Amino acid sequence: MTLVAERASEVVGFVDVRLERSPDPMLRDVVYCHVAELAVAAACRSQGIGSRLLQAAEEWGRRQGAAFAAVEYHVANTRAGAFYEQRMGYEVASRAAIKRLTGRDRRR
Protein backbone atom coordinates (compact mmCIF):
# COMPACT_ATOMS: atom_id res chain seq x y z
CA MET A 1 0.00 0.00 0.00
CA THR A 2 1.17 3.53 -0.69
CA LEU A 3 0.11 6.54 1.35
CA VAL A 4 0.88 10.05 0.14
CA ALA A 5 1.12 13.47 1.74
CA GLU A 6 -0.05 16.42 -0.32
CA ARG A 7 0.34 20.15 0.07
CA ALA A 8 -1.54 22.46 -2.30
CA SER A 9 -2.40 19.48 -4.55
CA GLU A 10 1.29 18.55 -4.84
CA VAL A 11 2.70 15.26 -3.48
CA VAL A 12 5.36 16.14 -0.90
CA GLY A 13 5.88 12.71 0.64
CA PHE A 14 4.94 9.06 0.50
CA VAL A 15 5.33 5.77 2.31
CA ASP A 16 5.20 2.30 0.77
CA VAL A 17 4.22 -0.39 3.25
CA ARG A 18 3.36 -4.08 3.03
CA LEU A 19 2.69 -7.02 5.30
CA GLU A 20 5.30 -9.77 5.61
CA ARG A 21 5.55 -12.94 7.65
CA SER A 22 8.70 -13.98 9.47
CA PRO A 23 10.98 -15.46 6.78
CA ASP A 24 12.55 -18.08 9.03
CA PRO A 25 10.37 -21.18 9.57
CA MET A 26 12.17 -21.84 12.88
CA LEU A 27 10.89 -18.56 14.29
CA ARG A 28 7.39 -18.09 15.54
CA ASP A 29 4.84 -17.00 12.97
CA VAL A 30 4.90 -13.20 13.16
CA VAL A 31 3.33 -10.65 10.84
CA TYR A 32 5.40 -7.52 10.22
CA CYS A 33 4.31 -4.20 8.82
CA HIS A 34 7.32 -3.63 6.54
CA VAL A 35 8.00 -0.01 5.62
CA ALA A 36 9.62 -0.46 2.22
CA GLU A 37 10.20 3.23 1.53
CA LEU A 38 9.49 6.58 3.15
CA ALA A 39 10.36 9.85 1.43
CA VAL A 40 9.62 13.52 2.00
CA ALA A 41 10.58 16.31 -0.39
CA ALA A 42 13.71 18.11 0.82
CA ALA A 43 11.91 21.46 1.09
CA CYS A 44 9.24 19.88 3.33
CA ARG A 45 11.41 17.96 5.80
CA SER A 46 11.35 18.60 9.56
CA GLN A 47 7.70 19.62 9.40
CA GLY A 48 6.19 16.40 10.77
CA ILE A 49 5.19 14.96 7.39
CA GLY A 50 7.41 11.87 7.71
CA SER A 51 6.17 11.23 11.25
CA ARG A 52 2.53 11.39 10.20
CA LEU A 53 3.14 9.14 7.18
CA LEU A 54 4.96 6.58 9.32
CA GLN A 55 2.28 6.68 12.01
CA ALA A 56 -0.42 6.14 9.36
CA ALA A 57 1.54 3.18 7.95
CA GLU A 58 1.93 1.68 11.43
CA GLU A 59 -1.79 2.12 12.11
CA TRP A 60 -2.62 0.41 8.80
CA GLY A 61 -0.33 -2.48 9.79
CA ARG A 62 -1.92 -2.72 13.23
CA ARG A 63 -5.39 -2.94 11.65
CA GLN A 64 -4.11 -5.72 9.37
CA GLY A 65 -2.89 -7.76 12.36
CA ALA A 66 0.82 -6.90 12.31
CA ALA A 67 2.63 -7.37 15.60
CA PHE A 68 5.70 -5.30 14.65
CA ALA A 69 6.71 -2.58 12.22
CA ALA A 70 10.07 -2.96 10.48
CA VAL A 71 12.15 -0.57 8.41
CA GLU A 72 15.62 -0.71 6.86
CA TYR A 73 17.92 2.21 6.18
CA HIS A 74 21.56 2.60 5.22
CA VAL A 75 23.90 2.99 8.19
CA ALA A 76 25.50 6.05 6.58
CA ASN A 77 22.13 7.81 6.60
CA THR A 78 22.43 9.18 10.12
CA ARG A 79 19.45 11.50 9.60
CA ALA A 80 17.22 8.48 8.92
CA GLY A 81 18.71 6.65 11.92
CA ALA A 82 17.95 9.53 14.24
CA PHE A 83 14.42 9.81 12.84
CA TYR A 84 13.53 6.15 13.22
CA GLU A 85 15.34 5.40 16.47
CA GLN A 86 15.23 8.61 18.49
CA ARG A 87 12.08 10.23 17.22
CA MET A 88 9.85 7.31 16.25
CA GLY A 89 10.94 4.69 18.83
CA TYR A 90 12.38 2.00 16.54
CA GLU A 91 15.17 -0.23 17.87
CA VAL A 92 17.95 -1.95 15.94
CA ALA A 93 16.99 -5.62 15.69
CA SER A 94 19.52 -6.96 13.18
CA ARG A 95 22.50 -6.00 11.08
CA ALA A 96 23.29 -6.80 7.48
CA ALA A 97 26.78 -6.95 6.01
CA ILE A 98 27.73 -6.29 2.41
CA LYS A 99 30.83 -6.89 0.35
CA ARG A 100 31.74 -5.26 -2.95
CA LEU A 101 32.08 -7.90 -5.68
CA THR A 102 32.93 -5.62 -8.57
CA GLY A 103 35.64 -3.04 -8.97
CA ARG A 104 38.70 -2.59 -6.83
CA ASP A 105 39.10 -4.35 -3.47
CA ARG A 106 39.71 -1.46 -1.03
CA ARG A 107 41.52 -3.63 1.51
CA ARG A 108 44.65 -3.86 -0.63
Residue 98 lies in a domain: no
Q: Is residue 21 part of a domain?
A: yes
pLDDT at 94 over 60: yes
Q: Give how many domains the chain has, as a whole number.
A: 1
- Residue range 64-72: mean pLDDT, rounded: 94
Residue-by-residue DSSP string for 42-61: GGGTTSSHHHHHHHHHHHHH
Q: Which pLDDT band holds residue 100 (cuts at 50, 70, 90)?
A: confident
Q: In terms of residue numbers, what domain contains 52?
A: 2-87
Q: What is the CATH number of the domain that holds 71?
A: 3.40.630.30
Q: What is the pTM of this model?
A: 0.84
In a domain? residue 100? no
Looking at residue 1, its pLDDT comes to 95
pLDDT, one tens digit per residue, over 21-54 is 876 677 778 899 999 999 999 999 999 999 999 9
Is residue 80 in a domain?
A: yes
